[in-house]
Structure 1
Amino acid sequence: MALAGGAVIDGGAGFRYISSAGLLLNGTGAYAQTAAPVVRTNDSFTLLGWVLNTQRPSTARTVFSQAGANTNVFALRYVPDAAEPTERGGWRLEMKNADNADDGQAPLRVVTHPQFNEWDWDHVAIVYDALRDRMSLYVNGALHQSEGGVSQENDVLGFVASNGGLQVGRDKLDATQFWPHAVDDVWVYQGALTATQVAQLAGGDELPTEDGP
């Protein structure tokens, strides 16, 4: 990945005691990106990583995104609670079915997860299952289940991204949402991992690439 805006690989920014270094961001312009999309986003894919939350952001901040010409095919953000932004908030996964503006022809699909470990690491995972037209958001190896449902959404089709590579630490289409802390141990798969495989990668052990699920 290419580093920009002050992003660095820092020896003190790795995941807890396991990783020797991690991607350190600054919240004001730092990010990393690949030269081109690393997966076909209209097919099944999985994106996972550890994210450091040294404090609760007071505005929406993006960790992972993939931009099309007009909108993101997906974006994972932390979004503060509107009524209590300093005390509450959670993770929000958004996906679109077509690369057009918000004109109602391709409704925004949204799932949320309230778990957020302030002053600690969270493991976040996006799983898009094209066979079932379903997106899922896992935090620390688990879906969120409540009376209102599960952190999954159906009728998701995705589209082919055509505006650069995978973005880590920013929304390419919104210059206000840079992630302010560290990111480490990012994995990307062309395919939908199972809940068991997501939980394995969220288990706290940094696995060698050849030993991944």
Structure 2
Amino acid sequence: MLALAATGGAMPAGAAAAAGVQGSRTAQSQQQEVSSRWSFETTEGVDPVTVPDEAGTANALTLHGGAVPAQTWQVDTGGLALDGTGHATAATMPVDTSGSFTLTAWAQAATAPTEAVTVISAEGSDRAAVQVAFVPDERYPAGGLGAWRLSIAEQDMAGARTVVLDTPQLSNALDWTHLAVAYDGTTKQARLYVDGTLLEPTCPDDDGDGIPDDAACPDFQPWADEVTPFPATSFQVGRSGTGAHAGSYFSGLVDDVWIFQGALSEDQVRKLSVSFFDVPTVVPGT
């Protein structure tokens, strides 16, 4: 059974956040800008192949191992193919992950994952500050069904308090899926969007007592208050961890990865999730 939990410091993330979620869904930093964007429309070099940053910085993504340009895509005419052993890295993290930021990407698994696989991660020296992964549901081992999971660590060390958020509804990893993490450093709230939506729990509660009528119904919530990621130093596509800690490799396609300074609103995230052609490298809605 998929779960929502906080480890290290053991703070439940869902119930405490519910009361304030309506106002904070549209909360965003006053300043928003595109810090990095990798659309995979063009590549440079050979061994290694790099993907230029369309935000105009020198922070290119470098492809490693079984990571190659793809002729299958979701946005425009290029993507990234990962074979379960390769990944891509940016030498520096374009934003301060202890402040307000947004990360987005499209992903489609090649086969039904049998274990947790990571699409994007903001890394420190010992662990990921921010990680978005797909976790298969043990009840459907061959169907590609499971939950998208956001993990946020508050310190770059083993045993650090980590908030884990699972989407409350099952998703199919074999479908193209738009993923977005928006973190508001002012309210200290993290939000995980799937296909432009902050998914709501769907557990029936006919008597209104706040307890699902079916105790087996997972009452997960894809947001959390009082979260403070540590400042990451690098960015990865297709795995989590570095060096001896590397793992959770993704097999499939990834496309159009963005990093914004500032927490995008739900409307801005939704706009990105339905934009497929000639998408300008600007903050959505501007």
TM-score (norm 2): 0.67
After the TM superposition, which residues 39-58 of structure 1 pair with which residues of structure 2 at under 5 Å, given as runs? 39-58=95-114
C-alpha offsets along residues 21-57 of structure 1, whole Å, 9 cap, x if unaligned? 1011111x21111111111111010000111133321
The one-letter amino acid paired with 2:156 is D
1:198 and 2:254 matched: no
**1:98 Cα offset (Å):** 1.5
Q: Could you tell me which residue of structure 2 aligns to residue 122 of structure 1?
A: 177
1:9 and 2:65 matched: no
Q: Could you tell me which residue of structure 2 aligns to residue 169 of structure 1?
A: 238
**1:115 Cα offset (Å):** 4.2
1:80 and 2:107 matched: no
After the TM superposition, which residues 173-192 of structure 1 pair with which residues of structure 2 at under 5 Å, given as runs? 173=242, 174-192=245-263
**1:84 Cα offset (Å):** 3.5
In the alignment, structure 2 segments of 5+ residues that lack a partner are 1-60, 204-218
- Higher alpha-carbon Rg: 2
Identity of aligned residues (%): 34
Inter-partner Cα distance in structure 2 for 1:149 and 1:211: 30
SS in 2 for 1:209: coil
Q: Could you tell me which residue of structure 2 aligns to residue 212 of structure 1?
A: 284
8 Å Cα contact 1:53-1:122 kept in structure 2: no
The one-letter amino acid paired with 2:175 is D
**1:89 Cα offset (Å):** 1.3
Inter-partner Cα distance in structure 2 for 1:194 and 1:139: 14
Q: In the comparison of the two structures, how many residue pairs are matched?
A: 204
The one-letter amino acid paired with 1:177 is S
Change (3 A) 1:67 1:205: same
SS in 1 for 2:171: coil
Q: Could you tell me which residue of structure 1 aligns to residue 77 of structure 2?
A: 20
Name whichever of 117-126 and 127-136 sits farther off.
Answer: 117-126
SS in 2 for 1:183: strand
The one-letter amino acid paired with 1:108 is T
Change (3 A) 1:73 1:118: closer
User: Which of structure 1's runs of 4+ aligned residues deviate more than 3 A?
Assistant: 173-176, 210-213
- Out of 137, 145, 151, the residue aligned to residue 200 of structure 2 is 145
**1:175 Cα offset (Å):** 3.4
Q: Cα RMSD (Å) of the superposition?
A: 1.8
- Out of 147, 164, 168, the residue aligned to residue 110 of structure 1 is 164
1:100 and 2:157 matched: yes
Inter-partner Cα distance in structure 2 for 1:131 and 1:74: 17
**1:211 Cα offset (Å):** 6.6
Change (3 A) 1:188 1:26: same
Name whichever of 192-201 and 63-72 sits farther off.
Answer: 63-72
SS in 1 for 2:66: coil
The one-letter amino acid paired with 1:34 is A
The one-letter amino acid paired with 1:176 is G
TM-score (norm 1): 0.88
